[in-house]
């Protein structure tokens, strides 16, 4: 298990007297990225009972960390103040490929499962983006997911999930709440801002016409690490999580 090796590397590095004990910053290992990778691997390779609606993963689903989800609000000209960059997802599970770039996610035209995971430890979800003050991290990620789904050409026969994981002591559903109505309101406002200065709106036409239909299918889940690890019941993973909390 990858966590066993990471714990071994950490233990072997404790050779300095006093502080710092470790020969590198412990957060290089003990962070939400490695924690999520270990949990996703556990969910992929083992069957765990529980009420989580995004489980189990399909047997043929792929796992990837730090993949790019393409934004529907790309730059239309140099210095476009309403544009944004693509979103990097902490974890992605589903039927997809990486084409033409090192990390850009393209869903298979016949995909049946697509899940994006956001992992948090001490930091909150972002309440806004640089160019949109009423457009939080949940809505931005959901918008990118919708865009990727629309680009696949698939309109039915799939499941889509956005999952946020955070500690019980720092648990939140979003800066506002977990209602898809809030996501829809923020996204509609973002669309209006983006289109307000566009000379040609054709670039966003597919997204503008169909995003609500895709949002209706997408499921939002906000889960604590503690609830997840209680079901997995792996001592080494529990120890790793405790060290993540300690160093973050």
C-alpha to C-alpha distance for 190 and 241, rounded to whole angstroms: 37
Burial of 123 (0-12, 13-18, 19+ CB in 10 A): exposed
- The tokens for 106 are 């393209």
Residue 118 parent element (H or E): strand 113-119
pLDDT at 191: 87
Pairing of strands 62-64, 91-94: antiparallel
Closest CA to 143 of 210, 71, 194, 216: 71
**Residue written as token pair 């669309």:** 191
Evaluate whether 144 touches 135 at the Cβ level (below 8 Å). no
Amino acid 105: pLDDT: 95
Backbone angles phi and psi of 232, in degrees to 5 = -65, -40
- Helix%, strand%, coil% for the chain, nearest 5: 40, 20, 40
Please report, in tens digits, the pLDDT of each residue of the chain (248 residues total): 789 999 999 999 999 998 899 999 999 999 999 999 999 999 999 877 778 999 999 999 999 999 999 999 887 878 777 778 889 999 999 999 997 677 899 999 999 999 999 999 988 787 656 666 678 999 999 999 999 999 999 999 999 999 999 999 876 554 444 578 999 999 999 888 887 665 554 445 789 899 999 999 999 999 999 999 999 999 999 999 999 999 99
Provide the β-strand partners of residue 69. 87
CA–CA dist 194, 158 (Å, integer): 29
160 token code pair: 């889509």
Residue 176 pLDDT:
45
The DSSP symbol for 160 reads E
């Amino acid at each position: 298990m990858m966590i066993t090796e990471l714990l071994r590397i950490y233990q072997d590095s404790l050779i300095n007297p006093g502080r710092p004990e470790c020969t590198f910053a412990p957060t290089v290992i003990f962070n939400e990225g490695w924690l999520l990778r270990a949990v996703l691997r556990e969910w992929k390779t083992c069957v765990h009972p529980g009420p989580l609606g995004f489980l189990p993963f399909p047997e043929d689903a792929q796992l990837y960390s730090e993949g790019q989800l393409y934004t529907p609000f790309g730059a239309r000209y140099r210095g476009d103040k309403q544009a944004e960059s693509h979103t990097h997802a902490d974890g992605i599970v589903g039927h997809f490929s990486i084409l033409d770039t090192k990390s850009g996610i393209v869903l298979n035209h016949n995909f049946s499962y697509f899940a994006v995971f956001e992992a948090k430890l001490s930091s909150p979800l972002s309440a806004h983006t640089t160019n949109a003050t009423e457009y939080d991290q949940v809505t931005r990620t959901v918008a990118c997911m919708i865009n990727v789904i629309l680009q696949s050409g698939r309109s039915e026969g799939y499941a889509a999930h956005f999952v946020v994981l955070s500690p019980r002591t720092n648990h939140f559903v979003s800066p506002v709440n977990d209602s898809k109505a809030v996501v829809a309101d923020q996204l509609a406002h973002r669309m209006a801002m983006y289109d307000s200065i566009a000379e040609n709106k054709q670039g966003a036409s597919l997204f503008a016409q169909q995003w609500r239909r895709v949002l209706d299918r997408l499921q939002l889940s906000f889960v604590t690490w503690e609830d997840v690890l209680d079901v997995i019941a792996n001592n080494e993973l529990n120890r790793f999580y405790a060290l993540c909390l300690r160093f973050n």
